[in-house]
Amino acid sequence: MSDSRPELLAVAPLMPFLMDQLTARYTVHDRIHASDPAGFAQVAPRIRGVVANGEAKVPRELIAQMPKLEIISVFGVGYDGVDVAAAHERGVPVTNTPEVLNDDVADLALGLLLAVARRIPQADRFVREGGWPKGPMPLARKLSGSKLGVVGMGRIGQAIAERALAFRMDVAYTARSPRANVAHTYYATAESLAAAVDFLVVITPGGAATRGMIDAKVFKALGPDGYLVNVARGSVVDEAALIEALQSGTIAGAGLDVFANEPNVPDALRAMPNVVLTPHIGSGTRQTREAMGQLTFDNLAAHFAGKPLLTPVDR
Ligand code: NAP
Protein backbone atom coordinates (compact mmCIF):
# COMPACT_ATOMS: atom_id res chain seq x y z
CA MET A 1 0.00 0.00 0.00
CA SER A 2 1.30 3.43 -0.76
CA ASP A 3 -0.04 6.80 0.31
CA SER A 4 0.90 10.39 -0.45
CA ARG A 5 3.56 10.48 2.25
CA PRO A 6 7.19 10.06 1.17
CA GLU A 7 8.34 6.45 1.36
CA LEU A 8 11.55 5.60 3.17
CA LEU A 9 13.69 2.49 3.41
CA ALA A 10 15.22 1.80 6.84
CA VAL A 11 18.32 -0.30 6.17
CA ALA A 12 19.13 -0.85 9.85
CA PRO A 13 17.20 -1.43 13.06
CA LEU A 14 16.24 2.02 14.35
CA MET A 15 15.50 2.93 17.94
CA PRO A 16 11.79 3.38 18.78
CA PHE A 17 12.28 7.11 19.48
CA LEU A 18 13.32 7.64 15.85
CA MET A 19 11.04 5.02 14.28
CA ASP A 20 7.95 6.50 15.96
CA GLN A 21 8.76 9.97 14.65
CA LEU A 22 9.45 8.62 11.16
CA THR A 23 6.27 6.53 10.91
CA ALA A 24 4.20 9.53 12.00
CA ARG A 25 5.30 11.40 8.90
CA TYR A 26 6.52 8.86 6.35
CA THR A 27 5.76 5.37 5.11
CA VAL A 28 8.73 3.37 6.39
CA HIS A 29 9.74 0.05 4.88
CA ASP A 30 11.78 -1.54 7.63
CA ARG A 31 14.66 -3.56 6.17
CA ILE A 32 12.41 -4.99 3.46
CA HIS A 33 15.42 -5.11 1.08
CA ALA A 34 16.90 -7.84 3.29
CA SER A 35 13.78 -9.63 4.54
CA ASP A 36 11.72 -9.65 1.30
CA PRO A 37 13.69 -8.84 -1.86
CA ALA A 38 10.64 -9.42 -4.11
CA GLY A 39 8.58 -7.03 -1.97
CA PHE A 40 11.43 -4.53 -2.08
CA ALA A 41 11.49 -4.70 -5.89
CA GLN A 42 7.84 -3.54 -5.81
CA VAL A 43 8.43 -0.54 -3.52
CA ALA A 44 11.99 0.42 -4.60
CA PRO A 45 10.80 2.69 -7.46
CA ARG A 46 8.90 4.79 -4.88
CA ILE A 47 11.59 5.09 -2.20
CA ARG A 48 12.67 8.73 -1.74
CA GLY A 49 14.80 8.41 1.40
CA VAL A 50 17.07 5.89 3.09
CA VAL A 51 17.66 5.85 6.84
CA ALA A 52 20.84 4.05 7.91
CA ASN A 53 23.01 3.73 10.98
CA GLY A 54 26.77 3.83 11.37
CA GLU A 55 27.17 0.12 10.74
CA ALA A 56 24.64 -0.26 7.91
CA LYS A 57 25.64 -0.99 4.35
CA VAL A 58 24.27 1.20 1.56
CA PRO A 59 26.25 -0.01 -1.45
CA ARG A 60 26.12 1.32 -5.01
CA GLU A 61 23.93 -1.61 -6.13
CA LEU A 62 21.27 -0.78 -3.53
CA ILE A 63 21.31 2.92 -4.44
CA ALA A 64 20.91 1.94 -8.12
CA GLN A 65 17.70 0.05 -7.30
CA MET A 66 15.98 3.25 -6.11
CA PRO A 67 15.61 5.66 -9.07
CA LYS A 68 13.64 8.25 -7.04
CA LEU A 69 16.08 8.29 -4.12
CA GLU A 70 16.65 11.86 -2.87
CA ILE A 71 18.47 11.56 0.47
CA ILE A 72 20.36 9.12 2.72
CA SER A 73 20.18 10.08 6.41
CA VAL A 74 22.67 8.25 8.63
CA PHE A 75 22.10 7.83 12.37
CA GLY A 76 25.78 8.08 13.35
CA VAL A 77 28.80 10.23 12.55
CA GLY A 78 30.64 7.43 10.73
CA TYR A 79 29.20 6.65 7.30
CA ASP A 80 31.79 4.21 6.00
CA GLY A 81 29.06 1.69 5.09
CA VAL A 82 27.49 4.15 2.64
CA ASP A 83 28.86 4.50 -0.88
CA VAL A 84 28.88 8.30 -0.69
CA ALA A 85 30.51 8.63 -4.12
CA ALA A 86 27.71 6.58 -5.73
CA ALA A 87 25.08 8.69 -3.93
CA HIS A 88 26.70 11.99 -4.90
CA GLU A 89 27.05 10.88 -8.54
CA ARG A 90 23.27 10.62 -8.52
CA GLY A 91 22.94 13.99 -6.77
CA VAL A 92 21.72 12.26 -3.60
CA PRO A 93 23.01 14.00 -0.45
CA VAL A 94 24.12 12.00 2.59
CA THR A 95 23.70 13.37 6.11
CA ASN A 96 25.18 12.15 9.41
CA THR A 97 25.02 13.12 13.11
CA PRO A 98 28.31 14.86 14.03
CA GLU A 99 29.05 16.76 17.27
CA VAL A 100 26.10 15.49 19.35
CA LEU A 101 28.03 12.30 20.26
CA ASN A 102 31.48 13.82 20.90
CA ASP A 103 31.07 13.80 24.69
CA ASP A 104 29.91 10.21 24.91
CA VAL A 105 32.60 8.73 22.69
CA ALA A 106 35.31 10.77 24.43
CA ASP A 107 33.94 9.74 27.83
CA LEU A 108 34.08 6.09 26.80
CA ALA A 109 37.64 6.49 25.49
CA LEU A 110 38.72 7.84 28.89
CA GLY A 111 36.71 5.07 30.56
CA LEU A 112 38.55 2.43 28.53
CA LEU A 113 41.91 4.08 29.27
CA LEU A 114 41.16 3.94 33.00
CA ALA A 115 39.71 0.44 32.72
CA VAL A 116 42.76 -1.07 30.98
CA ALA A 117 45.35 0.86 32.98
CA ARG A 118 43.75 0.35 36.41
CA ARG A 119 42.26 -3.03 35.46
CA ILE A 120 38.84 -2.05 36.79
CA PRO A 121 36.84 -4.93 35.20
CA GLN A 122 39.47 -7.40 36.40
CA ALA A 123 39.33 -5.88 39.90
CA ASP A 124 35.55 -6.20 39.90
CA ARG A 125 35.84 -9.90 38.99
CA PHE A 126 38.57 -10.32 41.63
CA VAL A 127 36.19 -9.13 44.35
CA ARG A 128 33.13 -11.01 43.06
CA GLU A 129 35.01 -14.27 42.63
CA GLY A 130 36.40 -14.20 46.17
CA GLY A 131 40.03 -13.43 45.29
CA TRP A 132 40.48 -10.60 47.80
CA PRO A 133 40.62 -12.66 51.04
CA LYS A 134 43.39 -14.74 49.44
CA GLY A 135 45.67 -11.73 48.87
CA PRO A 136 45.89 -8.29 47.27
CA MET A 137 45.14 -7.47 43.65
CA PRO A 138 48.34 -7.15 41.56
CA LEU A 139 49.47 -3.55 40.98
CA ALA A 140 48.23 -1.70 37.90
CA ARG A 141 49.52 1.10 35.62
CA LYS A 142 49.18 4.80 36.46
CA LEU A 143 47.23 6.84 33.89
CA SER A 144 47.58 10.42 35.20
CA GLY A 145 50.65 12.18 33.90
CA SER A 146 51.37 9.57 31.19
CA LYS A 147 51.75 10.15 27.44
CA LEU A 148 48.68 9.87 25.22
CA GLY A 149 48.72 9.55 21.43
CA VAL A 150 45.48 10.30 19.58
CA VAL A 151 45.14 8.86 16.07
CA GLY A 152 42.64 11.22 14.40
CA MET A 153 42.41 14.68 15.97
CA GLY A 154 38.93 15.57 14.69
CA ARG A 155 35.81 16.45 16.67
CA ILE A 156 35.97 13.42 18.97
CA GLY A 157 39.79 13.29 19.08
CA GLN A 158 39.82 16.86 20.38
CA ALA A 159 37.19 16.00 23.02
CA ILE A 160 39.42 13.11 24.14
CA ALA A 161 42.48 15.39 24.29
CA GLU A 162 40.53 17.95 26.33
CA ARG A 163 39.64 15.28 28.91
CA ALA A 164 43.17 13.86 28.96
CA LEU A 165 44.52 17.27 29.98
CA ALA A 166 42.50 17.01 33.20
CA PHE A 167 44.56 13.87 33.88
CA ARG A 168 47.71 15.92 33.21
CA MET A 169 48.48 13.67 30.26
CA ASP A 170 51.01 14.78 27.69
CA VAL A 171 48.96 14.67 24.45
CA ALA A 172 50.30 14.16 20.92
CA TYR A 173 48.46 13.16 17.74
CA THR A 174 48.55 12.07 14.16
CA ALA A 175 46.24 12.76 11.21
CA ARG A 176 46.91 13.19 7.49
CA SER A 177 48.04 16.74 8.19
CA PRO A 178 48.58 18.92 11.28
CA ARG A 179 45.60 20.91 12.54
CA ALA A 180 46.11 24.67 12.71
CA ASN A 181 43.88 24.99 15.82
CA VAL A 182 45.56 22.15 17.77
CA ALA A 183 48.64 22.91 19.88
CA HIS A 184 49.59 19.29 20.67
CA THR A 185 52.69 17.73 19.10
CA TYR A 186 52.00 16.32 15.63
CA TYR A 187 53.51 13.10 14.29
CA ALA A 188 53.26 12.26 10.60
CA THR A 189 52.49 8.55 11.12
CA ALA A 190 50.73 6.33 13.64
CA GLU A 191 53.97 4.37 13.99
CA SER A 192 56.06 7.40 14.98
CA LEU A 193 53.31 8.56 17.35
CA ALA A 194 53.08 5.09 18.95
CA ALA A 195 56.84 5.10 19.60
CA ALA A 196 56.48 8.33 21.60
CA VAL A 197 53.51 7.47 23.86
CA ASP A 198 52.25 5.10 26.59
CA PHE A 199 48.61 4.97 25.43
CA LEU A 200 47.37 5.12 21.85
CA VAL A 201 43.69 5.99 21.22
CA VAL A 202 42.32 5.45 17.71
CA ILE A 203 39.48 7.75 16.58
CA THR A 204 39.65 8.13 12.79
CA PRO A 205 36.84 7.33 10.35
CA GLY A 206 36.63 3.76 9.02
CA GLY A 207 36.60 2.85 5.33
CA ALA A 208 39.26 2.08 2.74
CA ALA A 209 41.59 4.99 3.60
CA THR A 210 42.21 3.83 7.18
CA ARG A 211 41.84 0.05 6.78
CA GLY A 212 44.49 -1.78 8.80
CA MET A 213 46.51 1.41 9.49
CA ILE A 214 47.11 0.26 13.09
CA ASP A 215 49.25 -2.76 12.23
CA ALA A 216 52.12 -4.90 13.55
CA LYS A 217 54.62 -2.05 13.02
CA VAL A 218 52.51 0.29 15.16
CA PHE A 219 52.24 -2.33 17.93
CA LYS A 220 55.99 -2.89 17.89
CA ALA A 221 56.51 0.87 18.21
CA LEU A 222 53.97 1.11 21.06
CA GLY A 223 55.98 -1.49 22.93
CA PRO A 224 55.54 -3.92 25.83
CA ASP A 225 54.40 -1.21 28.28
CA GLY A 226 52.01 0.40 25.78
CA TYR A 227 48.21 0.16 25.58
CA LEU A 228 45.82 0.52 22.63
CA VAL A 229 42.27 1.90 22.87
CA ASN A 230 40.09 1.68 19.75
CA VAL A 231 36.83 3.62 19.67
CA ALA A 232 36.93 4.27 15.90
CA ARG A 233 36.02 1.29 13.72
CA GLY A 234 37.22 -2.31 13.87
CA SER A 235 38.54 -1.99 10.32
CA VAL A 236 41.17 0.59 11.33
CA VAL A 237 43.06 -1.99 13.41
CA ASP A 238 44.58 -5.15 11.91
CA GLU A 239 42.80 -7.46 14.36
CA ALA A 240 44.97 -10.51 13.66
CA ALA A 241 48.11 -8.44 14.27
CA LEU A 242 46.55 -7.04 17.46
CA ILE A 243 45.82 -10.53 18.81
CA GLU A 244 49.38 -11.58 18.01
CA ALA A 245 50.77 -8.43 19.69
CA LEU A 246 48.70 -9.05 22.83
CA GLN A 247 49.56 -12.76 23.00
CA SER A 248 53.28 -12.20 22.49
CA GLY A 249 53.54 -9.27 24.95
CA THR A 250 54.47 -6.88 22.14
CA ILE A 251 51.96 -4.50 23.79
CA ALA A 252 50.63 -4.55 27.37
CA GLY A 253 46.89 -4.46 26.79
CA ALA A 254 43.94 -3.04 24.89
CA GLY A 255 40.52 -1.46 25.41
CA LEU A 256 38.27 -2.14 22.45
CA ASP A 257 34.79 -0.83 21.65
CA VAL A 258 34.82 -1.81 17.97
CA PHE A 259 35.72 -4.99 16.09
CA ALA A 260 36.35 -6.26 12.59
CA ASN A 261 33.26 -8.47 12.37
CA GLU A 262 30.70 -7.13 14.85
CA PRO A 263 28.92 -8.48 16.81
CA ASN A 264 31.37 -11.37 16.67
CA VAL A 265 34.49 -10.92 18.79
CA PRO A 266 37.35 -13.40 18.29
CA ASP A 267 37.62 -16.02 21.06
CA ALA A 268 41.29 -15.12 21.40
CA LEU A 269 40.39 -11.56 22.48
CA ARG A 270 37.61 -12.73 24.79
CA ALA A 271 40.03 -15.09 26.54
CA MET A 272 42.74 -12.49 27.23
CA PRO A 273 43.02 -11.07 30.75
CA ASN A 274 44.72 -7.86 29.60
CA VAL A 275 41.89 -6.73 27.31
CA VAL A 276 38.71 -4.77 28.12
CA LEU A 277 35.88 -5.27 25.65
CA THR A 278 32.73 -3.19 25.11
CA PRO A 279 30.02 -3.83 22.46
CA HIS A 280 30.28 -0.68 20.29
CA ILE A 281 28.67 1.59 22.90
CA GLY A 282 30.64 4.77 22.16
CA SER A 283 27.47 6.85 21.70
CA GLY A 284 25.30 4.48 23.70
CA THR A 285 23.54 6.71 26.22
CA ARG A 286 19.83 7.50 26.07
CA GLN A 287 20.55 11.22 25.92
CA THR A 288 22.97 11.02 23.01
CA ARG A 289 21.05 8.41 21.02
CA GLU A 290 17.95 10.62 21.26
CA ALA A 291 19.95 13.63 20.06
CA MET A 292 21.28 11.52 17.17
CA GLY A 293 17.77 10.32 16.36
CA GLN A 294 16.48 13.89 16.36
CA LEU A 295 19.24 15.05 14.00
CA THR A 296 18.62 12.08 11.68
CA PHE A 297 14.92 13.04 11.60
CA ASP A 298 15.58 16.78 11.27
CA ASN A 299 17.83 16.27 8.25
CA LEU A 300 15.05 14.32 6.50
CA ALA A 301 12.46 16.92 7.52
CA ALA A 302 14.65 19.75 6.19
CA HIS A 303 15.09 17.94 2.89
CA PHE A 304 11.41 17.22 2.36
CA ALA A 305 10.58 20.82 3.35
CA GLY A 306 13.02 22.11 0.72
CA LYS A 307 15.25 23.66 3.38
CA PRO A 308 19.07 23.41 3.69
CA LEU A 309 20.29 20.18 5.27
CA LEU A 310 21.61 20.54 8.81
CA THR A 311 24.63 18.23 8.59
CA PRO A 312 25.40 17.01 5.06
CA VAL A 313 28.66 15.06 4.63
CA ASP A 314 31.12 16.81 2.36
CA ARG A 315 30.65 16.71 -1.34
P1 NAP B 1 36.17 13.86 12.26
O2 NAP B 1 35.87 15.11 12.98
O3 NAP B 1 35.97 13.79 10.79
O4 NAP B 1 37.69 13.45 12.63
C5 NAP B 1 38.37 12.42 12.00
C6 NAP B 1 39.86 12.58 12.24
O7 NAP B 1 40.54 11.49 11.62
C8 NAP B 1 40.47 13.86 11.69
O9 NAP B 1 41.44 14.32 12.56
C10 NAP B 1 41.12 13.40 10.39
O11 NAP B 1 42.18 14.30 10.10
C12 NAP B 1 41.59 12.01 10.78
N13 NAP B 1 41.78 11.14 9.62
C14 NAP B 1 40.90 10.93 8.62
N15 NAP B 1 41.41 10.05 7.73
C16 NAP B 1 42.64 9.72 8.19
C17 NAP B 1 43.67 8.89 7.69
N18 NAP B 1 43.53 8.22 6.52
N19 NAP B 1 44.81 8.79 8.42
C20 NAP B 1 44.95 9.47 9.59
N21 NAP B 1 44.02 10.28 10.09
C22 NAP B 1 42.87 10.41 9.40
O23 NAP B 1 35.30 12.65 12.83
P24 NAP B 1 34.74 12.46 14.33
O25 NAP B 1 33.40 13.09 14.43
O26 NAP B 1 35.80 12.83 15.29
O27 NAP B 1 34.51 10.87 14.30
C28 NAP B 1 35.60 10.00 14.05
C29 NAP B 1 35.14 8.58 13.89
O30 NAP B 1 34.80 8.02 15.15
C31 NAP B 1 33.88 8.33 13.08
O32 NAP B 1 34.10 8.41 11.69
C33 NAP B 1 33.49 6.94 13.53
O34 NAP B 1 34.12 5.96 12.71
C35 NAP B 1 34.06 6.84 14.94
N36 NAP B 1 32.99 6.77 15.94
C37 NAP B 1 32.86 5.66 16.73
C38 NAP B 1 31.85 5.60 17.67
C39 NAP B 1 31.68 4.42 18.58
O40 NAP B 1 30.55 4.11 18.95
N41 NAP B 1 32.74 3.75 18.98
C42 NAP B 1 30.93 6.65 17.79
C43 NAP B 1 31.10 7.77 16.98
C44 NAP B 1 32.12 7.82 16.07
P45 NAP B 1 42.74 14.54 8.61
O46 NAP B 1 41.54 14.78 7.76
O47 NAP B 1 43.65 15.72 8.76
O48 NAP B 1 43.46 13.29 8.27
Q: What is the mean pLDDT of each run of 10 residues along the chain (315 residues)?
A: 83 97 98 97 98 95 98 97 97 98 98 98 98 97 98 98 98 98 98 99 97 98 98 98 98 98 98 97 98 98 98 89
* pTM, 2 dp: 0.97
Is 7 noted as a catalytic residue in this protein?
no
pLDDT at 2: 47
Task: Verify whether ligand 1 is closer than 6 Å to residue 112 (CB atom).
Answer: no
Using the mean position of ligand 1's atoms as its centre, give its distance from the Cα of residue 312 in Å. Answer: 16
Asked if residue 263 has a cis previous peptide bond (ω within 30° of 0), the answer is yes
Which one is catalytic: 29, 33, 163, 233? 233
Is 290 noted as a catalytic residue in this protein?
no
Neighbours of 121 (CB within 10 A): 16
Q: Which numbered atom of ligand 1 lies nearest the CA of 99?
A: 25
**Helices 286-304 + 16-25 axis angle, to 10:** 20
Which one is catalytic: 5, 46, 118, 280? 280
Nearest CA to ligand 1 atom 48: 176
Q: Which of 74, 104, 203 to mutate to test the pocket of ligand 1 (most atoms within 8 A of CB)?
A: 203
Handedness of CA 126, 132, 134, 139 (dihedral sign): positive
| CA distance linking residue 210 with residue 295, whole number of Å | 26
Task: Verify whether ligand 1 is closer than 6 Å to residue 231 (CB atom).
Answer: yes
Closest CA to 268 of 299, 303, 243: 243
pLDDT at 289: 98
DSSP-assigned beta bridge partners for residue 255: 229, 276
Using the mean position of ligand 1's atoms as its centre, give its distance from the Cα of residue 270 in Å. Answer: 26
| CA distance linking residue 203 with residue 39, whole number of Å | 39
Is 286 noted as a catalytic residue in this protein?
no
